[in-house]
Amino acid sequence: MNSNPATTGFTVGGNVAATPGKVVFRDAVMELIQYAPATATLGAEPVLIVPAWIMKYYILDLSSANSLILWLVSQGRTVFLISWRNPGAELHDTSLEDYRLLGIMAAIDAVRAICGDAKIHATGYCLGGTLLSIAAATMARDGDDRLASLSLFAAQTDFTEVGELQLFMTEDQLDVLSDITQAQGYLDSAQLGGILQMPGSNDLVWNGAIRDYLLGEHDASGDLLAWNADGPRLPPRMHIEYLRHLFLHNDLAEGRFRVAGRRLTLHDLDLPMFVVGTERDQVARWRSVFKLHLLNDGELTFVLTSGGHNAGIVSEPGRENRHFRIRVRRAGARTLTPDEWERVTAPRAGSWWLAWSLWLDEHSSGPPGDPPPMGAPGFPPICDAPGPYVLEA
């Protein structure tokens, strides 16, 4: 891991990214981890988690006290997770469609091979949620009914309210970024960090600099800081496609986004949805995340939780000073504006993880049963989790 002092004492596969499991599939862009069961019986349907490719997956598997993965397994769930590869120049021409096919769709095929006919609770975080929305809408368009539900954490599907970064993102700027990344073969973590820090410069840059250099108040070491220092790279083609078609032109929300030459609409999604926004998110602002209400009139449970883009999602039960709001919009019901929603939805103390677990129970088709095998014919266990992809520097 990075030599930054904040990372001292943390080892991937040791005391972070340490939930027991096996890598059961690997291709050019991802490894699929199946986590070992921790209870005698497991929920009827597996959970497949799709993290963002702009972060290493173990933001969701930090120390044992605040690992969402470990907590889900302890709740009696079969959990699979995509660990994206840290690409070098050899993957410079990898597209957003490659990430859908070789990432999400390949993972769905593997999960179904291992778990049989059970439908999948598909879960996406940040850009992983955006890509999962595209994959789920494509499946709906094409009559593929292998998903049981869709959960999205701090994930945008409409990009009209993205904050200050929109001021800097133009076609000319994309052309410059494309030239830079094509020349070196990838977008590195330092360049990506600069892009992501723009929309929240006060919170992400200047406040930290003032505390550190002027006041001498250094950030304490912690697993979240260690993870933050362990940044990945991105293939330039995929990232430019994302910025141009989703961020800049908002093609997904406005019905212009195409998969396999045909347009998608999120209105086709016919799944119960659990959508989480965070109060202080400067990357995926909660009012932007909320706009999925306007793109689909099905059942949608929306949660607004305390914290920001990362700490609001890593919000384990028992942590002090945490709260969240939750409200269900039934299929076909009137959609509230964000301000109306916030005004009539009272905050609750505690972690939204518990509410999500209950929601998964409510949207599962049967009682718990025996755990599935670790791997299956065609998808044998390759190695222990976390696997080599997340270790690539």
For residue 197, CA distances in Å to 161, 165, 189, 203, 205 come to 16, 9, 12, 9, 7
Q: Respond yes or no: is residue 126 known to be catalytic.
A: yes
DSSP state of 337: P
16, 59, 126, 264: which is the annotated catalytic residue?
126
The Cα 233–Cα 59 span in angstroms is: 16
Strands (E), the chain: 21-26, 30-35, 47-50, 79-84, 120-125, 147-153, 258-259, 262-263, 273-278, 300-305, 323-329, 348-349, 383-384
Contact present, 275 and 328 (Cβ < 8 Å): no
> Using CA of residue 195, residue 264, residue 91, residue 151, what is the dihedral sign?
positive
The Cα 230–Cα 224 span in angstroms is: 10
The Cα 30–Cα 20 span in angstroms is: 18
SS3 20: coil
The Cα 319–Cα 342 span in angstroms is: 23
Contact present, 379 and 23 (Cβ < 8 Å): no
Span between the terminal Cα atoms of the chain, in Å: 7
Contact present, 277 and 154 (Cβ < 8 Å): yes
Q: How many Cα neighbours within 13 Å face the side chain of 323? A: 9
Q: Where are the alpha helices (DSSP H) in 155-276?
A: 165-168, 171-184, 189-197, 201, 207-209, 223-228, 236-241
Q: Which residues are catalytic?
A: 126
